[in-house]
Amino acid sequence: MEALKNWIIGITAASIIVSSVIAIAPDTGARKILKFIGGLIMLIVVLGSLQSFVMPDFSAYSSIYQAEYEGYADSLSDENEKLIKAIIEERTRTYILEKAEDIGITCDVEITSELRDGVPFPYTVQYICEHEPPTGDRDKLETYVLSELGIEVENQKWVVRNEE
């Protein structure tokens, strides 16, 4: 940053000096020569100042920004994976709850998923019921979940709370 600041100051100072000299020069052929020389001086100042830029500084800044970018990209990727996982689990939950209601089972459902090739798939289902549903209805729901969602019956657990 210091190099950029010095470069801008150098160009500004040179342009003020060259403009001042051209402004006070008489309006003759000498003025045209002064403009040409002033242009050469400005070119030398601009190109000469470019040498003062230290390329390792820019590569260091570039490396820092690249590392920050990758960190943000990784963070966003992780957050995106979490959101996708949550969406899939919630939609699967809703889907199973609707089917359970169609069958006549009143329960809540908890879904866990696992990553397969970087994509979350529903893996386990836990049915939380207040009363034990009839075996036929349980089997019907388990078979449906297996056939439609691919969740194995052994990964479908039933929990009965407050059974009286």
Average confidence (pLDDT) over 78-83? 88
Q: Give per-residue burial for 88-101: e unless 16+ CB within 10 Å, then b.
A: bbeebbebbbebbe
Instruction: Output 71 or 123, whichever has higher pLDDT.
Output: 123
Per-residue pLDDT tens over the stretch 8-57: 888 888 888 888 888 887 877 777 888 888 888 888 887 776 666 555 66
pLDDT at residue 93 in the model: 95
Contact 127, 93 (CB under 8 A): no
User: Among 12-16, 106-110, 124-128, which stretch is predicted with the lowest mean pLDDT?
Assistant: 12-16
